[in-house]
């Protein structure tokens, strides 16, 4: 099915199942421990062995010698795989660095060997016996130090590297009110609960891989390319994923090393990445340095807006696209954005929840508050004044839906924004200084082609099959809701099968495209199935209605089951999206409000209240959508207050590479979070009229927290995370 025209009225609009707050149908399996994750799969062709990966102890250089004799002779060892005995490997399209290093080393903890043994403990112990001699080369590990060497990144998925509209330089220099500030965000880790984990098993020349991945189709193709085998010889299974946040978009060393180890040992092999390798071997969110310049007239109209960003990555890597939201969020005739990428020898930087906007808004939305203060304007009033209903860089391209102003106004009323004292450091609650802050949120609503197969079984139940993944987002449930709505059955009559490469290729989970695209794929398959059933029952497909397990048309009804008495009826289709996104700017919007308390004496920061107001198309399942938003809010609170990968700039690695020293929020850090969804349908987005929401929740929250801290203390911190040492010497005295 092609989707190249705005959606009109269709069966989803009945909203008998879609749009209802629904418990996740996979919830009972996950809460009872019966959901089988990649590392837990038991139906294997033989008793599995265990693999342990040895990571490189240098960040840049080469291996001069590697002595494996002690490891090979250790108790229980079945095989040792390394670059000298694994054959020639390829490189997946989605990988920047090679997944098995040697002799050249591209980054710290790059996999250089795998020990396969009867038990995990034996494999780990033997890996410690491998003696490696390195020749270290000088590397670049400090973004600030080499920022000026950054190069233009050209065009890519982010669009153009640089954009210019009007005459930014003259407009900025002549503006009556100006802001010119620099903001920084650190390297951050996905820190998902389930580690990168895989089980590999070979039968003749065919590989089956149970692995934790967000993108089954990408994984199948990149595993095949890396191992230099036909794609058809690789089977991927990933029915449950315990968190990804972008870190499992791409094949990592656990999958490839498990496959190599299983081939060498002749038995299935289980491999998971120990926490230090998750931090240093896999991808992370790169650090940024961002300069924002804005000029306005004295009435508050933005005349010039410029946003420059610097980030680093390995050779041939991509940038952190921190300027993306600035191209769309506020009006202003004279505009400039610019991204520069420096070559660093740190582990690979890549997508992490809301890449671009998550860190870009951490800077932009502080800058907006700072300029509003210079203008003596309320931050919300300033934002509303500079709202735009068209793409500021392409005025001929309107937004398909844009309720940003309504989000801010609704949130302000709900949060009692009128009680905020605009003068900082004025409100006290005992030893706590209180402040309120807010920020706007924007995140793209991309779509990707997505396929599905839908089957009416002989017992009148519906089976949905697609290689789509559920990374904790509720995919099983919204796909079941979609099929139930389309086929006129109750939710308990729908079975959903996900996460296997043998199933139709879907969009996969990532980029905030998963929910909207995958449900649209199921919608397309259901349209085809409805047509087949109507014809089988002698109805006109254009007039048929499916409801309460009945098929009705032309004044008569038949049971749905009547169409499949003797054998199931099956239909398969793929939603193929046209260019509506070029005609319209299709985005999601929100407003975040935060109240904090800052201890006068210790500078301890406590979040007291949080509110998100979102406009993100039709909300398919408000219950799971709320969970996605509060998860994003929590991650952004971590980014604002504690999350930072500390770089050893001498040796080129992340020092705090475990969950003991890389701080993430815990329950005690997060108060009650309120989420409101504005009524919205977007016919330009898909037949579902929905959009993604899973990444919108992380966008803007960090700046709202920073703005609240400033309102509480009068101390403006522009370098994240906002830790107490950055406040302690500047916070007003207790008196």
- Paired tokens of 491: 């939710």
Sign of the Cα pseudo-torsion (313, 318, 322, 323, in order): positive
For residue 262, give the nearest of 63, 50, 463 by alpha carbon.
50
Q: How far apart are alpha carbons 22 and 28 in whole angstroms?
A: 13
Nearest to 575 by CA among 516, 499, 502, 501: 516
Identify the three-state secondary structure at position 709. Answer: helix
H or E stretch including 214? Answer: none
Per-residue b or e along 18-53, where b marks 16 or more CB atoms closer than 10 Å to that residue's CB: bbeebebbbeeeeeeeebebbbebeebeeebbbbbb
Rounded distance between C-alpha atoms, residue 143 and residue 121, angstroms:
38
In the block, residue with structure tokens 């929910």: 515
Alpha helix segments (H runs only) across 102-154: 120-127, 143-146
Of 10, 20, 15, nearest to 474 (Cα)?
20
In whole angstroms, give the CA distance from residue 456 to residue 568: 5
576, β-bridge pairs: 2
Which among 106, 485, 674, 695 is annotated as catalytic?
695
From first CA to last CA, the distance across the chain in angstroms is 68
Cα–Cα distance measured from residue 517 to residue 109, given in angstroms and rounded to the nearest whole number: 36
Quote the CA–CA distance of 253 and 275 in Å, as a whole number.
Answer: 13
**Is 370 one of the catalytic residues?**
no
**Rounded to an integer, what distance in angstroms lies between the CA atom of residue 516 and that of residue 400?**
15
Rounded to an integer, what is the distance from CA 465 to the centroid of its chain? Answer: 24
Cβ partners under 8 Å of residue 9, min gap 6: none
CA distance 384 to 399: 16
Nearest of 719, 158, 703 to residue 440 by alpha carbon = 703
Positions marked active-site:
695
């Amino acid at each position: 099915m092609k989707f190249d025209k705005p959606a009109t009225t269709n069966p989803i609009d009945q909203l008998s199942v879609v749009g209802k707050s629904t418990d996740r149908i996979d919830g009972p399996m996950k809460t009872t421990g019966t959901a089988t994750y990649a590392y837990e799969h038991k139906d294997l062709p033989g008793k599995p062995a265990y693999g342990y990966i040895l990571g490189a102890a240098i960040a840049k250089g080469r291996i001069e010698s590697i002595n494996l004799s002690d490891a090979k002779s250790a108790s229980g060892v079945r095989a040792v795989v390394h670059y000298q005995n694994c054959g020639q490997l390829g490189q997946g399209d989605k990988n920047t660095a090679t997944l098995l290093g040697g002799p050249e080393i591209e980054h710290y903890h790059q996999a250089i060997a795998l020990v396969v043994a009867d038990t995990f403990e034996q494999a780990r112990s033997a890996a410690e016996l491998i003696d490696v001699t390195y020749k270290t080369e000088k590397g670049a590990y400090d973004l600030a130090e080499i920022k000026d060497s950054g190069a233009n990144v050209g065009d890519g998925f982010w669009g153009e590297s640089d954009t210019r509209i009007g005459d930014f330089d003259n407009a900025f220099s002549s503006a009556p009110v100006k802001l010119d500030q620099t903001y920084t965000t650190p390297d951050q880790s996905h820190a998902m609960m389930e580690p990168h984990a895989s089980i590999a098993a070979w039968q003749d020349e065919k590989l089956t891989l149970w692995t934790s991945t967000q993108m089954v189709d990408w994984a199948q193709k990149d595993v095949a390319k890396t191992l230099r085998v036909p794609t058809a010889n690789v089977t991927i299974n990933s029915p449950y994923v315990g968190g990804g946040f972008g870190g499992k978009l791409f094949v990592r060393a656990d999958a490839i090393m498990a496959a190599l180890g299983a081939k060498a040992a002749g038995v299935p092999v289980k491999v998971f990445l120990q926490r230090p390798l998750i931090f240093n071997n896999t991808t992370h969110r790169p650090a940024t340095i961002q300069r924002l310049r804005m000029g306005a007239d004295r009435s508050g109209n933005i005349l010039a807006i410029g946003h420059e960003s610097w980030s680093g990555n390995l050779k041939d890597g991509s940038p952190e696209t921190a300027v993306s939201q600035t191209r769309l969020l506020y009006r202003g005739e004279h505009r400039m954005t610019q991204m520069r990428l420096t070559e660093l020898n740190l582990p690979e930087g890549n997508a992490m929840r809301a890449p671009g906007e998550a860190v870009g808004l951490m800077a932009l939305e502080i800058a907006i508050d700072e300029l509003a203060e210079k203008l003596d304007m309320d931050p919300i009033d300033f934002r509303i004044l500079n709202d735009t209903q068209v793409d500021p860089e392409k005025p001929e391209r309107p937004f398909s839906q844009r309720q940003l102003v309504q989000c801010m106004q609704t949130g302000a009323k709900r949060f009692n924004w009128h009680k905020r004292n605009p003068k900082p450091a004025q409100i006290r609650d005992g030893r706590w200084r209180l402040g309120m802050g807010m920020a706007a949120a924007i995140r793209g609503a991309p779509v990707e082609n997505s396929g599905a197969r839908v089957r009416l079984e002989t017992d009148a139940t519906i089976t949905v099959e697609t290689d789509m993944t559920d990374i904790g987002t509720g995919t099983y449930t919204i796909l079941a809701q979609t099929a139930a709505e389309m086929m006129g059955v109750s939710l308990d009559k729908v079975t959903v099968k996900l996460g296997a490469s043998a199933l139709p290729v879907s969009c996969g989970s990532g980029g905030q495209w998963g929910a909207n695209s995958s449900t649209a794929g199921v919608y397309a398959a259901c349209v085809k199935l409805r047509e087949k059933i109507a014809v089988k029952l002698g109805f006109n497909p254009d007039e048929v209605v499916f409801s309460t397990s009945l098929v009705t048309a032309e004044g008569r009804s038949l049971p749905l089951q009547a169409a499949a008495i003797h054998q199931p009826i099956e239909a398969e289709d793929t939603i193929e999206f046209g260019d509506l996104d070029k005609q319209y700017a299709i985005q999601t919007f929100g407003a975040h409000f935060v109240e904090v308390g800052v201890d006068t004496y210790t500078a301890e920061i406590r979040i007291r209240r949080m509110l998100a107001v979102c406009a993100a198309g039709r909300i398919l399942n408000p219950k799971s959508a709320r969970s996605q938003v509060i998860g994003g809010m929590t991650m952004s609170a971590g980014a604002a207050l504690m999350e930072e990968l500390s770089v050893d700039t001498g040796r080129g690695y992340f020092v705090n590479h475990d969950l003991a020293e890389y701080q993430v929020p815990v329950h005690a850090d997060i108060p009650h979070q309120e989420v409101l969804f504005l009524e919205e349908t977007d016919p330009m987005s898909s037949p579902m009229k929905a959009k993604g929401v899973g990444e919108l929740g992380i966008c803007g929250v960090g700046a709202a927290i920073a703005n609240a801290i400033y309102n509480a203390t009068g101390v403006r911190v522009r370098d994240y995370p906002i830790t107490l040492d950055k406040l302690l010497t500047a916070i007003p005295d207790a008196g």
